[in-house]
Structure 1
Amino acid sequence: MTSTNPLARFAARMTDRSAVIGIIGLGYVGLPLASRFSELGYPVVGLDVDAAKVAELNADGGFRRYVGLTRESVRFSAPFTATTDFSEAADCDALIICVPTPLGKYHDPDIGYILDAARSVRPHLRSGQVIALESTTYPGTTEDDMLPVLARDDLTVGEDIFVVYSPEREDPGNASFSIRQIPKVVSGVTENCLRAAEALYGGAVDTLVPVASTRVAEMTKLLENIHRAVNIGLVNEMKTLADRMGIDIFDVIRAAATKPFGFTAFYPGPGVGGHCIPVDPFYLTWKAREYGVHTRFIELAGEINRYMPEFIVEKLMDALNGERKALNGARVLVLGVAFKKNIDDMRESPSVMVIEGIAAKGGEVVYADPHVPVLTLADGSRHASCVADAGTVASMDAVVIATDHDAFDYEMIGREAKLIVDTRGRFPASLAKVTRA
């Protein structure tokens, strides 16, 4: 007999894998989640406002483009369809919102995509559905901002529908951890909502981490990313000091990392990129002002990290000066423009700021990135990736290692390049043509 209790009915459908999972937002978070549920045998409906993306995904080709996945690299034992028609939300037992949360012009949080998603599904809600938010945001978003948009007089939260928050923990390009392996923080607006969250995600991941409230879960995600931002800021500041003192910061980190307790290795680079690290700390600094708190430590880390592209351009100028050359008119090859190695994600990439900084000083700059065939700069100009072969490398006055993709031939680069500005520690600092930056 089918239970009349909406929560029990949902849990039963998750157990027998007849529940239809709706994923709202088909990007770096939503698509891997869709593939995981489909792999487990759940029918999955992907909802997105981008008609071109939806068409591409339905034709299979979009998986590689958007998340580096293909139909062959994941097991789709259940149907997956993408659509722009949000009325199909009515057929879904769970609706998981995975939309962007960018910053506004003045570093104020923009939760417009979350609220738009809530407005789009509200007319199609029915008893027994779970609405889960995974987007990174400030504490209070789920209950104070999204919940009022979802509210309907005929559906009681915690009895008829269940609203939960479970922050995504995606790490694009990291093959060491799958969705199943990463412990998942879950929370709910009510106790029944938390139970619904556990039913939704319990079969998809090995370990659930229930927390007391949606605010705790929202703050947890921010702490995780602020922890990285602050420590990256610290090691980037240490890099600039070590550079002045003639010390190789990578040697220092390797030595410090041998301590088996009390130290976690973070590595310097050209700055921070991606959606999380450059953006999420400002969600908390903005919210903190509501409580009269000035988050100076977090803001200082952001200031240091934003300075790194400028520091690299300065180091490039110094290295060229050492060869009696000016940056103005020099031919410079920037290797890697994605924000991290072996992916195509360009969001907030500091490599782009390095390219723009070199061009602003008169450098003739080109880039090579096997994952990013075309690059659009802030001025709207479009540039095509060149091939980092021996002839190209040898023809340049300097090569900047901005993102150290494994696809680059570092042995050849070390042999052919006249001058190397290395922001990632790929070459020994003892090599005469190498400048650490």
Structure 2
Amino acid sequence: MAVLGMGYVGLPTSLALREAGFRVLGVDISERRLRHIEAGSVDLLDRDRPRLTRALESGQFGLTTDLRALEAVDAVLIAVPTPVDHDLNPDLRAVRSACASAVEHARAGQTLILTSTTYVGTTRDLLVEPLRERGFTIGEDIHVAFAPERINPGDALWEQAAVPRVIGGVTSACTDAAAAVLAATASKLHVVSSVEAAEFTKLQENTFRAVNLAFANEMAAAAGFYGVDPVEVIDAAATKPYGYLPHYPGPGVGGHCIPVDPYYLLTPLRDAGVASPVVENAMASVAGRPRSVADRALDITGSRGIADANARVLLVGVAYKPGVEDFRESPALQIAGRLAARGAQVSYHDPLIAEVEVEGAGVLHNVAAPDPSQYDLVLVAVVHPGHSYEYLADAEHLLDATYKTSGGKVRHAL
């Protein structure tokens, strides 16, 4: 079988399939990405690195950029990015291209499974109808299903195989064919009635998280007004065994899912004139959070008589979430960009990331051993597990947007 797309979803999926006994072909348009996989120089959990080594040494895991190779496999899983553009509109180029390639090289007897988070109707629009135009009968000579991925990068607790997998086929035969592929890679399979139900399931999951994270940030501000610790309150509320699920405040929502996926729900609804005010307001809050954190930081320095152009800010953490080396879609970089746009002098410390490019500030390099006392403000954006942050005790002024650290001679609230 083949996995089309060797990113943070496609690679772990390939490793899971290989361990389940399948011969796996990883297909990606990026030769550079494939060379990094072969060298083992990719961002993986510690437990996945031996799995990658075993897969590469097995002779049963191949890598190629040749899309014609899809013709030789019995099943194709499509796992490509579905981002948004600068205007927060869904960017469908990767999924359109991947689905078109799968259709072009499809043959009778194959099972095609789309796993990328996308708008409701994608599977029919980009796979089912084009396959029918090629003369295939869905559910008879070829099978099509949607089974959303549920990988949480950097999460060592919930490995992929421990998480149930949702499957929706175009027909019952399609569902059965997809289940035969995925059964060994998940703790259980949850079958829904259609591809549309499966597509909507993933959008509901991630929109739920976005809405609740926006709520957590709002409640943190309210807790600050009353002079109580928001994390203490959340932990206390979480002792209730029903009706409550803890979400914690932070500097913003990063990564490829939570700040992105809800727009694959909202955009078609807006186009159809369907109102979704709760989600709309939550996403506006999510999108604006990094800017508000940056502005609060310069409010703090400004209150001490330091002009924005003279403010020296140390940003602690630039990854998009704790425990990962990935800084794409990072709220910390949005914070840095906003600080730079207002003229501040920005430095950063992140033990996992050697350099980053910040709009308005150029390429910044990690300050390996920062002296917090040399900065007008230390702004904590990401705290990585397994690393010491005792040095924050020397910060004259500290703004902790993670609500997770101690230290700072004067601590400021968001």
- Which of 29, 49, 57 aligns to 1:49? It is 29
Question: 1:399 is aligned with what amino acid?
Answer: V
Seen in structure 2, the aligned counterparts of structure 1 residues 147 and 104 have a Cα distance that, compared at 3 Å, is: farther
> Residues of 2 paired with 1:294 and 1:217: CA distance?
22
| 1:162 correspondence with 2:143 | yes
Q: Spell out the pairing of 1:53-132 with structure 2 (5 A cutoff).
A: 53-57=33-37, 59-62=38-41, 64-65=42-43, 71-74=49-52, 75-76=54-55, 77=58, 79-132=60-113
1:19-46 per-residue CA deviation (whole Å, 9 max, x = no partner) reads xx20001001000001111122211111
Other-structure match for 1:404: 383
Aligned residues: 411
Other-structure match for 2:292: 311
Question: 1:26 is aligned with what amino acid?
Answer: M
> Residues of 2 paired with 1:411 and 1:73: CA distance?
35
3-state SS of the aligned residue for 1:217?
helix
3-state SS of the aligned residue for 1:233?
helix
Identity %: 36
Asked if the contact 1:273/1:350 (under 8 Å) is kept, the reply is: yes
Other-structure match for 1:9: none
| 1:33 correspondence with 2:33 | no
Give the aligned CA root-mean-square deviation in angstroms: 2.1
Gaps of 5+ in 1: 1-20
Gaps of 5+ in 2: none
Other-structure match for 1:174: 155
Question: 1:361 is aligned with what amino acid?
Answer: R
Residue 134 (structure 1) shift: 0.3
| 1:433 correspondence with 2:410 | yes
Asked if the contact 1:31/1:67 (under 8 Å) is kept, the reply is: no
| 1:371 correspondence with 2:338 | no
> Residues of 2 paired with 1:289 and 1:318: CA distance?
36
Asked if the contact 1:278/1:302 (under 8 Å) is kept, the reply is: yes
Asked if the contact 1:334/1:367 (under 8 Å) is kept, the reply is: yes
1:200-228 per-residue CA deviation (whole Å, 9 max, x = no partner) reads 11122120000000000000000000100
Seen in structure 2, the aligned counterparts of structure 1 residues 374 and 150 have a Cα distance that, compared at 3 Å, is: farther
Give the TM-score taking structure 2 as reference length. 0.93
Residue 86 (structure 1) shift: 0.7
3-state SS of the aligned residue for 2:292?
helix
Question: 1:404 is aligned with what amino acid?
Answer: V
Q: Which of 241-250 and 32-41 deviates more? A: 241-250
| 1:275 correspondence with 2:256 | yes
3-state SS of the aligned residue for 1:41?
coil
3-state SS of the aligned residue for 2:228?
coil
> Residues of 1 paired with 2:95 and 2:227: CA distance?
48
| 1:140 correspondence with 2:121 | yes
Asked if the contact 1:130/1:162 (under 8 Å) is kept, the reply is: yes
3-state SS of the aligned residue for 1:206?
coil
| 1:395 correspondence with 2:378 | no
> Residues of 1 paired with 2:165 and 2:296: CA distance?
42
1:167-209 per-residue CA deviation (whole Å, 9 max, x = no partner) reads 0101000000111100000111111101111111112212000
> Residues of 2 paired with 1:398 and 1:407: CA distance?
24
| 1:420 correspondence with 2:398 | yes
Q: Which of 152-161 and 226-235 deviates more? A: 152-161
Seen in structure 2, the aligned counterparts of structure 1 residues 183 and 351 have a Cα distance that, compared at 3 Å, is: same
Question: 1:46 is aligned with what amino acid?
Answer: G
Question: 2:220 is aligned with what amino acid?
Answer: K
Q: Spell out the pairing of 1:183-222 with structure 2 (5 A cutoff).
A: 183-222=164-203
Residue 326 (structure 1) shift: 4.0
Asked if the contact 2:15/2:51 (under 8 Å) is kept, the reply is: no
